[in-house]
Amino acid sequence: MAQPKILVTGAGGQLGSVLVPALQAKYGFNQVVASDIRDKIEINADYVQLDVLDKRQVIDIIHARGINQVYHLAAILSAKGEENVQFTWDINVGGLINLLEVARTARLEKVFVPSSIAVFGPLTQGEQTPQYPVLIPETIYGISKVTGEQWCNYYHKRFNLDVRSLRYPGLISYQSMPGGGTTDYAVDIFHKAVQDQHFQCFLSENTRLPMMYMPDAVRATLELMEAPREQISVRTSYNLAAMNFTPKEIYQEIQKHLPQFTISYQPDFRQEIADSWTQSINDENARMDWKWKEEYNLPKMVADMIHHLKIHYQEKNQDHV
């Protein structure tokens, strides 16, 4: 197999800004081309501006750079998606179809496409959601992800394209802010806590959602993509789990480190989105097929987030004096 030469789309997002450095560390700095719709991104990378709706440009970059793998992260998340339904569909589905078609014709080795717990809906089994449940989501983001999963599965069956996917839970990280998601509260809460500010939560205190710390999400992605092809039995998207908690539970865990921290709850339209998703995930297929196992539970994640964000804000404050 050729040395991977990787294109990452949406590289400036929450996942990309951690996944790109991890790919650089694993395969070599020059083996990774980062791209995004923005004119520049925060991380140090070989960077090109790319609109995933511009198929010609996608083709040109893949040929010019000798790309043989794509991590297609460009997408609009759940809450933001409700503000512009048509645009969300265009990016999330149109962009994916462009990528799959280019991957097929350019005979790329592998493609990674993220999916999400947003594929689930009110009729889905809410506890220990199985791999193949009812999928009738109520957000345009969720609908686009279910559709995307079907396209991935179809391109695998019909054209033998090696496309792999994970249904990420809400992702928690300190390196960059998420944008436009419903699970974002679980990142925002830390920024308020370490800055000694009050946190007003846009979900109610007992809203339980599946979540994952970024190091686990990145490792899961790399492990899935490295697994031998014949071990990948799920070609829609793998359920993936690490932990689940409510706003009240994460607040109480943060309070163990920062006893003065205060929270109040003022649910907005995102409450309905969260209520339509499931509370815990059965990911036994991932655990069996490619030996997935999480490293971070709630207490370990909270301790690590606070540690890193304290350093981040100390350094930021020093820059200002």
CB of 177 to ligand SER, least distance (A): 12
| Residue 133: both structure tokens together | 């449940």
- Determine the length of the chain: 321
Tell me which residues in 100-159 interact with ligand SER (CB under 6 A): 116-118, 141
Cα 142 to chain center, whole Å?
13
Strand duo 170-172 + 46-49: pairing: unpaired
Binding part of the chain for ligand SER, among 94-102, 179-187, 224-232, 281-289 by CB under 6 A, reads 179-187
Burial degree of 314 (CB within 10 A; 0-12, 13-18, 19+): exposed
Stretch that binds ligand SER, among 50-58, 177-185, 198-206, 246-254 (CB under 6 A): 177-185
How many Cβ atoms from other residues are within 10 Å of residue 312's Cβ?
14
Provide the minimum distance between the beta carbon of 180 and ligand SER in the complex, in angstroms, as a whole number.
7
- 295 phi and psi, to 5 degrees? -110, -30
16 CB-near residues (< 8 Å, 6+ apart): 8, 10, 34, 36, 41, 71, 73
Identify which of residues 168 and 213 has a Cβ nearer to ligand SER in the complex: 168
How many residues bind ligand SER, per CB under 6 A?
11
Residue 183 as a binder of ligand SER (CB under 6 A): the answer is: yes
Closer CB to ligand SER, residue 116 or residue 244? 116
| HSE-CB of 62 using CA atoms within 13 angstroms | 27
CB of 208 to ligand SER, least distance (A): 14
Q: Supply the minimum distance, in Å, between the C-beta of residue 198 and ligand SER.
A: 23
| 9, 98, 173, 182: residue in contact with ligand SER (rule CB under 6 A) | 182
- The interface with ligand SER within residues 44-103 (CB under 6 A) comprises 77-78
Instruction: Evaluate whether 100 touches 152 at the Cβ level (below 8 Å).
Output: yes
Q: How far is the CB of 184 from ligand SER (least distance, A)?
A: 6
d(CA 23, CA 16): 10
The amino acid occupying position 240 is: L
Residue 175: count other Cβ atoms within 10 Å of its Cβ: 14
Which sequence positions are flagged as catalytic?
141
Closer residue to ligand SER (CB): 35 or 237 = 237
Q: Which is nearer to ligand SER, 4 or 210 (CB)?
A: 210
Contact residues for 5 (Cβ-Cβ < 8 A; gap 6+): 31, 33, 65, 66, 67, 68, 69
Nearer to ligand SER, 24 or 236 (CB): 236
Q: Which residue is nearest to ligand SER (CB)?
A: 181
Q: Does 237 bind ligand SER (CB under 6 A)?
A: no
Nearer to ligand SER, 35 or 278 (CB): 278
- Residue of 16, 95, 137, 170 interacting with ligand SER (CB under 6 A): 170
* Amino acid sitting at position 202: F
Residues that bind ligand SER (CB under 6 A): 77-78, 116-118, 141, 168, 170, 181-183
